[in-house]
Amino acid sequence: MGLFWRVLVALPFFFAYVNGEHFTYPSRHPGKAELAGFKGPDSLATDGGGFFSGPLIVDDDVAATTGNQGGTTEVTVGKPEDDTLETSLANDGIGNANMIEAATTFKGSWELFLENGGVSAMHLILLPKINQALMFDATVWKISKIKLPGPPCRHVEGTNEEDCFAHSVLMDIDTGKLRPLRLKYDTWCSSGGLDINGRLVSTGGYNNGSDTVRILDLCDTCDWKEYPGALANGRWYATQVTLGDGKFMVFGGRDFPTYEFVPPEGKKNTHQDVVDFKFLVETHDPVENNLYPFVYLSTDGNVFIFANNRSVLLNPKTHNIIHEFPVLPNGARNYPASGSACLLPIILKPNEDRKVIPAEILVCGGAPHDAYEKADLQRPKVFLPGSCDCARLDFTKRDSKWNIFNMPSARLLGDMAVLPTGDVLIVNGAKTGSAGWDDAREPNLNPVLYKFQTDGTASKFTVLNPSNIPRMYHSSFAILPDAKVLIAGSNTNPGYLDDALFPTEVRVEKFSPHYLDPNLAMFRQEIITEKSDNQLKYGQKFTVQIRGNGVIDQQKLQVTIYSPPFVTHGICMNQRLIQLGILEFNKDVAPNTNNIVLQAPMNGNIAQPGYYMLFVNYNGVPCLRSMWVQILP
């Protein structure tokens, strides 16, 4: 082992509090069949695990709950059984109507989409218009499962080596065709988001990449443009958020409890552009637990930041914390405890005129504050149970308190995908341990569906069918235009290891959620893109044309727009789903064809400028394929 690697291995034991991913190689396990602590898929559906204290609200009944006024008729396909995903009704935001879902016993299905995705998808985002998934990990290991198509290779800084492997690929989401991309500056544990034109703006990373800004444009031949030194502080394990004017802020990162605005392309920040952020000092445990903070733009223009177990609202113009919310109990939630979070759907009414539009965060899972210390620094390793609780908080209300309830099983290292219907798919991850190399056990193979209700009274979890591929540390996802969920990544190893307890994973899967039950296919509408408006201005009326079988009942329609997130380490940067208000529904403008007249969001604090996937859902079943729309400032 060279001096470089010896130093990297040794440093964590001198500076334990800063290292979540050090280069201590895991024990080798040639056989994959008997994973330590892994009891098989059946046990994962019922085994609770985890720890819990404090008030508990458990929503595990199977009775339908109806919170709407006026009521609608349940649509049942087939004969529901005791575990049916029952009818759920929602108020607000779909014209003067209420939403209804078709009941189904379908628990989802898995397909292996690609045997070798080229790289292990530590980072993943769906790029608009070109419908390609960008997957990348890190340059530091100088290896992947796909080579660059030819010279030039990457010169390894400080050596005479050349690295001819690709560490970033574009994958066609329909065909699986891969296009390797070139990276020079290390993207390990970086951050990112889409700009108004759909380009990925990526920030930070490791070593020579920690202060780098990268841009990937949308074209068949585009490659990374890299701007080292553009950031004033190193941003390793930082979080990037898009503001209402389309600008980016980046928060935190190892050893830098600060934030800064991302400079325009080709420009560089100075230390005068950095803002000290005491909140990130205060939330720092001996083993961190506040990296990759959960950061979301509030509908009032403030920024919500959650780190470890605390959360605040920050005014990005005055740099003042204007409110702190109650502490969320029961452990830590951010890296390396690595729970997950998402912004729940923002529900708009027709002719929206409310001064405050509610915005609510859902936080699930995590681990005890000392989980990383036990799993990574202690010998023998001890894998503490993860958290099995979730909590919701409306951060537009100053008197908000956490509503805490249990999910079916413990989970850390997981992901939370907001589905086109507004429900949340909790997927990937483990049940014990921590983030870090070889620091988690018991893969949680079963996705869980969380039924979102706009009135907040009937939340419900349903355990769905399991994958047979453990998705542990460094897993990721993307919502696809056909409403399937792309699942990729998982690497608990410092490099590409095929004989580890959990080998480096390059297989790519697609998961079909409950609404893709073949028996519900009759409800899937087709968006007629050439007859629909795809460039929107704030507050304006616009039209979407749909075609389908049979007569459409407006009360069963829902239209949502979804901003594709930058996904890494259980955090989904800028994931946002907005349910639009329906102003008019014009039937039979052509045979089996109808027009929906909608109102675009009123301002950039509700929906940041840029690209969104527009879905039309009927009876809770998404359309055949979403349409890309661009919101212009």
Q: For the CA atoms of 414, 415, 419, 425, what is the dihedral angle to 10 degrees?
A: 0
Residue 44 domain-assigned?
no
- Which residue, 516, 546, 564, sits at the end of a domain? 516
Q: What digits encode the pLDDT tens for the residues 194-251?
A: 999 999 999 999 999 999 999 999 998 999 999 999 999 999 999 999 999 999 999 9
pLDDT of residue 18: 37
The number of domains in the chain is 2
pLDDT digit string, tens, across residues 20-74? 333 222 332 222 222 323 333 333 232 222 222 223 233 333 233 222 222 222 3
CB 370 within 8 A of CB 364: no
pLDDT digits (tens, 9 = 90+) for 556-597: 999 999 999 999 999 999 999 999 999 999 999 999 999 999
Task: Give the pLDDT score at 455.
Answer: 54
Are 226 and 183 within 8 A, CB to CB? yes
Residue 94's φ and ψ, nearest 5 degrees, are: -130, 65
Report d(CA 309, CA 365) in Å as an integer: 12
Greater model confidence, 84 or 430: 430
Q: Of 67, 121, 59, 111, give the one whose Cα is nearest residue 90.
A: 67
In-domain check, residue 499: yes
- CATH number of the domain to which 616 belongs: 2.60.40.10
Exposed/middle/buried for residue 167 (C-beta within 10 Å: 0-12, 13-18, 19+): buried
Tell me the pairing of strands 346-347 and 576-579.
parallel
Q: Examine the domain organization and report whether 393 and 372 are in the same domain.
A: yes
Structural domain ending residue among the three candidates 495, 516, 537:
516
What is the H or E stretch that residue 449 is in?
Answer: strand 448-451
Rounded-to-integer distance, Cα 548 and Cα 47, Å: 42
One domain, residues 242 and 311 = yes
208 alpha carbon, distance to own chain's centre:
26
* Position 139 pLDDT exceeds 90: yes
Of 516, 547, 578, the residue at which a domain comes to its end is 516
Same domain, 489 and 580: no
State the amino acid at position 294 in one-letter form: F
Q: Are residues 403 and 528 in the same domain?
A: no
Tell me the pLDDT tens digit for each residue of 267-280: 999 999 999 999 99
93 residue type, one letter: G
Full domain range(s) for residue 564: 524-631
Q: What percent of the chain stands above pLDDT 90?
A: 81
pLDDT at position 142 is: 97
Q: Are residues 210 and 279 in the same domain?
A: yes
Strands (E) in 39-108, as ranges, are 75-76, 102-103
Averaged pLDDT score across all residues of the chain: 87
Same domain, 267 and 375: yes
Angle at 434 between CA 29 and CA 463, to 5 degrees: 90
- With beta carbons less than 8 A apart as the criterion, state whether 294 and 306 touch: yes
603 within a domain of the structure (yes/no): yes
Residue with tokens 């379908």: 106
Q: What angle do CA 88, 89, 92 make, to 5 degrees?
A: 145
User: Same structural domain for residues 512 and 552?
Assistant: no
pTM of the full predicted structure?
Answer: 0.86
CB 491 within 8 A of CB 473: yes
- pLDDT given for residue 100 in this prediction: 65
- What does the DSSP assignment read for 567-631? EETTEEET-EEEEPPEEEEEEEEETTEEEEEEE--SSTTTS-SEEEEEEEEETTEE-SS-EEEEE
